Chains A and B, each alone.
Chain A
Amino acid sequence: QKEVEQNSGPLSVPEGAIASLNCTYSDRGSQSFFWYRQYSGKSPELIMFIYSNGDKEDGRFTAQLNKASQYVSLLIRDSQPSDSATYLCAVIGYNQGGKLIFGQGTELSVKP
């Protein structure tokens, strides 16, 4: 079992729709959860982080965490073509010295 799993996609949504990206993790002791966006040929950039169960909203982005189900998701409302990128879920486990474990990424394509 992979430590962090994501659907690789591609996920295609029309402009203005809600894009839903999902991630599961295997380490129950995981404490911090991150969503990075990576455009082709560029470096990952952090868009959201969440530590507590529930929802966290930042503009068009909402991160959702359910530690009991070991599940974290990212919702992108009013999707724009500029949101087309690979979204990487990353997790820091307990006492892991800040080691980020990444999923394989989900490629999102927003069609005009």
Chain B
Amino acid sequence: DTAVSQTPKYLVTQMGNDKSIKCEQNLGHDTMYWYKQDSKKFLKIMFSYNNKELIINETVPNRFSPKSPDKAHLNLHINSLELGDSAVYFCASSQDRAVGYEQYFGPGTRLTVT
């Protein structure tokens, strides 16, 4: 069974389009995250939700909007895509947001904006 899954795995789209990435975890975790990994492999947190409540919102353009319909799902919608949005986006989950809980990462979605 896949613990944290993301769809799609690859996403190629043109500038200006709107796209969504979906994430699901079957671990029963309360907290979910979105990370962006750029071309230099630097991994940076974007958002975090705990039981459907937004708790971390880093300095991310408001073209990016996370949505959590329930605690097992955290989707990422991106409006008006730009070339600089090209990256790998990882979803992750942890049992709780308190320090010390391991975060489990999904397989990633490679987004290419042309």
Contacts and interface: CB of A to CB of B under 8 A. Distances in A.
Counting chain A CB atoms within 10 Å of each CB, the highest count among B43, B45, B55, B102 belongs to B43
B98 A98 contact: yes
B98 A86 contact: no
Contacts of A76: none
Interface residues of A, number: 24
A92 B96 CA distance: 13
Contact of B40 (A45, A49, A98, A104): A104
B56 A102 contact: no
Interface in A54-99: 86, 88, 92, 94, 96-99
A97 B105 contact: no
Contacts, number: 63
Given A45-B105, A97-B56, A99-B48, A88 B99 contact: no
Interface in B1-40: 31, 33, 40
Interface of B: 31, 33, 40-45, 48, 50, 55-56, 90, 94, 96-108
7 contacts: A43-B106, A45-B105, A46-B103, A98-B31, A98-B48, A98-B97, A104-B42
